[in-house]
Amino acid sequence: MRCCSYLVTHRLARGGWIAINGLSGAVDLLDDATKGILDAPPADGPADPELLSRLRQRGYLFADQDEEERLFLAMWERQKRLSQDRPLQFVLCPTHSCNLACRYCFEGSITSRAPRVLGDEAIVAAFRAMDEIAARTPSRKREVDLFGGEPLLPSTLGAVRKSLREAETRGMGVGVVTNGTHLATGYRELILEFRHLFSHFQITVDGPQTIHDYRRPFRSGKGSHGAALEAVELLVSLGIRVAVRVNLDAHNVAYLPEIAEMIVRRGWPEQPNFRCVLAPVADHLGTGSYPALLPEDQLVRDLAEVMAASESARRLFRLDLFRSAKHLSGVLGLASLKGQPMLQYCEANGLHSYTFGADGCIYPCSEMLDQPELAIGSFFPSFEIDEGKAAPWRDRSIVAMPECRSCRVATFCGGGCAYQALKRSGSPMEPACYGAEKVISAFLECFGDRLSPQ
Amino acid sequence: MTSLNLDAELWFAEVQQESAGEVGPLCCWFFDCWGS
């Protein structure tokens, strides 16, 4: 007998162990004797036939490596099939410019360069390129998400209208990631006209007014808090799905209770078209240029402290934000959804997402704009996918990276950010470790007392 | 040994329960907070 290679165990403060199985998804409480069996499996397994059966059934013990490998590959094939059930995502950036100067912005100087907005001809070309890409998987649904820069600027009104018409013609739902600053004013009429088309909006609110305004000022220095709230208010009232996103780091994590109370006072959580999402501020390129950045395991600890002290924060916010602990938080009832094995870090892996930049290039990731040398193709003036550049993105998964195959937390980590790997090593086909095991450990330290059988 | 999730929710279960989970991880910027 051999023990599962993808296994995380953690000693609980109250005694005993928790085991999280990265091959089967099993989460179990173990006594010391059972933990000892997993540490050094007897050749024929444990003497107790019932325990042997349970440990086999839950994916902890295998007859040999081949048996484990067969299950791993079967899981991979199953995940590939399931991934086709999710819509193919097309991200469209009408511009890379933005009217805000957020302190943690990952897009850097591209948002403040001379404004460039997609014209009608380029937008038509983008949607035709989407048609061609989607034709390779005709049974799959597709959707378009407007992104930027800031997609809803006065200068992009015509481009957004044209994009909505093109999406409508194709029956594609439209999501919008926006700072909301022009939504309730210059974009109100357009949103009313196309309200049937929007699948969701995402608007960032990073704190109470002083905190938000410090983090997300207009380029003039004026705060954007009021405009963002007005935008959320409008969408909630129209019955359009809207998610408030809170970008979290050391600067604002302590203000979550105030954010929760502000949202509750406005009555938004009572509306079925409203959600909140927490998102750690990430530095995928490792620039180290944002001092308030928190390692994810530290953010887990800080969040646990804040949540323990605030009922309103506990009730409003779900802990979906930690990828590597997503399965665990789902099992513990702390996340909205139970997780699946993370064989790919995000939708850029496998090319489940294509980003169309205002530079006419097609990128595998929405964080790569204005770097034509990294693009996998173009849509304007002509459509082309460079298969040589696209292949590593299409193939990237923990299955394809040997270092990941021998890592016990690989199925909770997904191999890390491919863009970060590309910048570091010149190829996306390298792991970009981000301390998944530390995050899982921190999660167990902080929330282990919630563990109880279903 | 006390199980915190069901056998039918295991990732290699032949027929997973509907509640077993959603497909795949999510992009950094387009959270699927509504569920698929």
Compute CA A158 distance to the chain's CA centroid, rounded to the nearest angstrom.
Answer: 30
Which residue of A18, A83, A243 is in closest CB contact with B31? A243
Which residue of B3, B25, B28 is in closest CB contact with A26? B3
Q: How far apart are CA A4 and CA B13, in angstroms?
A: 16
Which residue of B9, B10, B30 is in closest CB contact with A89? B30
A346 vs B10: CB contact, 8 Å cut-off? no
Chosen for mutation from B1, B9, B23 (greatest number of chain A CBs closer than 10 Å) is: B1
Q: How far apart are CA A436 and CA A279, in angstroms?
A: 16
Residue in A72, A106, A30 with CA at minimum distance from that of residue A280: A106
Q: How far apart are CA A206 and CA A208, in angstroms?
A: 7
- pLDDT exceeds 60 at position A253: yes
Say what the pLDDT of residue B20 is: 43
Residue in A425, A336, A155, A412 with CA at minimum distance from that of residue B34: A336
CB pairs under 8 A between A and B: 140
Chosen for mutation from A179, A276, A338 (greatest number of chain B CBs closer than 10 Å) is: A338
Which residue of B2, B11, B33 is in closest CB contact with A25? B11
Say what the pLDDT of residue A453 is: 47
Which residue of A25, A78, A177 is in closest CB contact with B9? A25
Mean pLDDT of A298-310: 94
Residues A231, A264 contacting (CB under 8 angstroms): no
Full 3-state SS string of chain B: CEECCCHHHCCCCCCCCHHHCCCCCCCCCCCCCCCC
- Which tens digit of pLDDT belongs to each residue from A161-171? 999 999 999 99
- pLDDT exceeds 60 at position A127: yes
Q: Which long-range contacts (CB under 8 A, 24 or more apart) does A44-53 make?
A: A44/A1, A45/A1, A51/B1
Shortest distance between the Cα of A373 and any Cα of chain B, in A, equals 22
Say what the pLDDT of residue A337 is: 66
Shortest distance between the Cα of A344 and any Cα of chain B, in A, equals 7
Q: Is the ipTM of this complex over 0.95?
A: no
- Which tens digit of pLDDT belongs to each residue from A254-298? 999 999 999 999 999 999 999 998 999 988 887 888 999 999 999
A337 vs B10: CB contact, 8 Å cut-off? no
Say what the pLDDT of residue A289 is: 84
Chain B positions in Cβ-Cβ contact with residue A55 (cut-off 8 Å): 1
A86 vs B24: CB contact, 8 Å cut-off? yes
Q: Which of residues 1-36 of B touch A (CB under 8 A)?
A: 1-7, 9-12, 19-31, 33-36
Q: What is the maximum alpha-carbon separation in chain A?
A: 73
Q: Which residues contact A194 (CB under 8 A, 6 or more apart)?
A: A164, A168, A174
Instruction: Compute the mean pLDDT over every residue in chain A, rounded to the nearest whole number.
Output: 93
Sheet of strand A353-356: strand arrangement? A274-280, A242-248, A198-204, A173-178, A142-146, A88-92, A353-356, A361-363, A377-378, A384-385
Q: Residue A320 corresponds to which tokens in the numbers above?
A: 């979906």
Beta strands A274-280 and A353-356 are unpaired
Chain A positions in Cβ-Cβ contact with residue B10 (cut-off 8 Å): 24-26, 58-59
Amino acid at A181: T
Mean pLDDT of A79-84: 84
Which residue of chain B is at minimal alpha-carbon distance from A30?
B1
Chain B positions in Cβ-Cβ contact with residue A147 (cut-off 8 Å): 29
A202 vs B30: CB contact, 8 Å cut-off? yes
